[in-house]
Amino acid sequence: MNNFEYYRPTRILFGKGMISQLSSLLDKAQKILLLYGGGSVKKNGVYEQVAKALEGYNYSEFGGIEPNPEYETCMKAVELVKRENIEFILAVGGGSTLDAAKFIAAAAKYEGKDPYDIITEEYEVKDALPVGDVITLPATGSEMNGNSVISRASTGRKAAFVSEKVYPEFSIIDPQTTFSLPVRQTVNGIVDTFVHTMEQYCTYDVNTPLQDEWMLGLLRTLIQEGPKALAKPEDYDARANIFWCATCGLNHFMSLGCVQDWATHQIGHELTAFYGLDHGQSLAIILPRLLQNQKLSKSEKLAKLARNVFGVEESVDLKAAGVAIYKIEEFFNFIGMKTHLADYGIDAGEAAEQARKALAMRNVKLGEKGAVTADTAFEIIRNS
């Protein structure tokens, strides 16, 4: 097991009716910014519950954060934060709204020339406004991590920053808020959580049996609970289990001491940046082909997954690994997720060339062994 350090200061309030606790978490003396997306929170009653909890508090609002939050939109919110001396940002909505809140929080305290610096790899965030959230979409795990992914249409770049300074102070998770999710977003969330777990689990063994059990258990739970929520959107227990999977899927706890991958996400972000695919859709297209491409070096973990998650009895690792990849794609298709670029009318050859150019410019060496170069990504996408 590799060395690790873990720090996670986020208070989690999980369960039915928890939004009513919001006022006890906020400081009346602080000026708050209530941040939300395109309006789902106004349709499903979440905004109303939040507004009720905020009665008597001093707050302003900023709505219109888009899925795959845009840098330019975030910068408009930063102007408002500065103009109104906002001291706390409350994100209400999906991962995009929360990621935007984290960026806005860091940009409000940024003192250099170009706030886009925050999203570049070399920059370290020195300070940020405090952030809290009512999260309404189980997918990103943003409610318990320090990550934020920001897109910029003008440059065609979608990139992430990571900082301890933007860990949410608290996250309120009421699974009932997810009853209103469109099927597409429920499926996106299941796939995103599945792939987060895969990227932390499916590398090579460094003797972490406990972590492996947690991660394989999460995959089994998703396979069991996902279809229940799809069949019955108001199945509270299924929604609750899926949400907790999503949160644990990327609070980085399960994989402490393990070797990680993240190539599927990096390549997927390129597809979203070029073609506007949903984050979950991009991952479902790339993961099976990436696993196929890297099957040899991942075969031990893939074979363990095949046996533990899918009950495969094949004793030869490489053969079992192939079955695992097939079963994963079959699960994605079973819950209604498409897994090929052609399903979205995208030409795989063209997409592969676009991504190769972008990744080559950054001279990437992705994956747990740095084996996924721009040329490897080209092969993976061309086969997708």
Q: What is the contact surface with ligand NZQ in residues (CB under 6 A)? A: 37-41, 44, 67-68, 93-97, 99, 136-137, 139-142, 145, 147-149, 177-178, 180-181, 185, 188, 192, 250, 265, 279
Q: Which two tokens stand for residue 266?
A: 């990096």
- How far apart are CB 195 and ligand NZQ at their closest, in Å? 8
- How far apart are CB 203 and ligand NZQ at their closest, in Å? 17
306 or 364: CB nearest ligand NZQ: 364
**In the complex, residue closest to Zn ion by CB:** 192
147 or 293: CB nearest ligand NZQ: 147
181 contact, one of ligand NZQ, Zn ion, none, CB 5-8 Å limit per kind:
ligand NZQ
93 or 322: CB nearest ligand NZQ: 93
- How far apart are CB 133 and ligand NZQ at their closest, in Å? 11
- How far apart are CB 192 and ligand NZQ at their closest, in Å? 6
66 vs 115, 163, 375, CA distance in Å?
Answer: 19, 22, 32
148 or 255: CB nearest ligand NZQ: 148
Q: Which residues contact 181 (CB under 8 A, 6 or more apart)?
A: 136, 137, 189, 233
40 contact, one of Zn ion, ligand NZQ, none, CB 5-8 Å limit per kind:
ligand NZQ
384 contact, one of ligand NZQ, Zn ion, none, CB 5-8 Å limit per kind:
none
Closest CA to 142 of 24, 37, 28, 55: 37
- How far apart are CB 245 and ligand NZQ at their closest, in Å? 14
33 or 323: CB nearest ligand NZQ: 33
**In the complex, residue closest to ligand NZQ by CB:** 94
- How far apart are CB 157 and ligand NZQ at their closest, in Å? 12
Q: What angle do CA 370, 262, 122 make, to 5 degrees?
A: 75
Classify strands 147-152 and 157-162 as parallel, antiparallel or unpaired: antiparallel
CA dihedral 333→339→343→344, nearest 10 degrees, is 120
Cα distance between residue 234 and residue 303, in whole Å: 35
99 contact, one of Zn ion, ligand NZQ, none, CB 5-8 Å limit per kind:
ligand NZQ
188 contact, one of Zn ion, ligand NZQ, none, CB 5-8 Å limit per kind:
ligand NZQ
208 contact, one of Zn ion, ligand NZQ, none, CB 5-8 Å limit per kind:
none
Cα distance between residue 368 and residue 261, in whole Å: 5
- How far apart are CB 29 and ligand NZQ at their closest, in Å? 29
- How far apart are CB 191 and Zn ion at their closest, in Å? 9
149 contact, one of Zn ion, ligand NZQ, none, CB 5-8 Å limit per kind:
ligand NZQ
78 or 119: CB nearest Zn ion: 119
SS3 track for 127-165: CCCCEEEEECCCCCCHHHCCEEEEEECCCCEEEEEECHH
Q: Which residues contact 55 (CB under 8 A, 6 or more apart)?
A: 23
Q: Are 270 and 209 in contact (CB under 8 A)?
A: no
10 contact, one of Zn ion, ligand NZQ, none, CB 5-8 Å limit per kind:
none
Classify strands 170-173 and 131-135 as parallel, antiparallel or unpaired: parallel
176 contact, one of ligand NZQ, Zn ion, none, CB 5-8 Å limit per kind:
none
- How far apart are CB 296 and ligand NZQ at their closest, in Å? 26
308 vs 130, 218, 220, 314, CA distance in Å?
Answer: 41, 12, 9, 12
140 or 292: CB nearest ligand NZQ: 140
Q: Which two tokens stand for residue 3?
A: 């060395």
User: Which runs of consecutive H residues, i.e. helices, occur in 207-262?
Assistant: 209-231, 236-249
3-state secondary structure of 90: strand
- How far apart are CB 271 and ligand NZQ at their closest, in Å? 11
9 contact, one of Zn ion, ligand NZQ, none, CB 5-8 Å limit per kind:
none
12 strand-pairing partners? 171
Binding region for Zn ion (CB under 5 A): 192
Cα distance between residue 219 and residue 246, in whole Å: 11
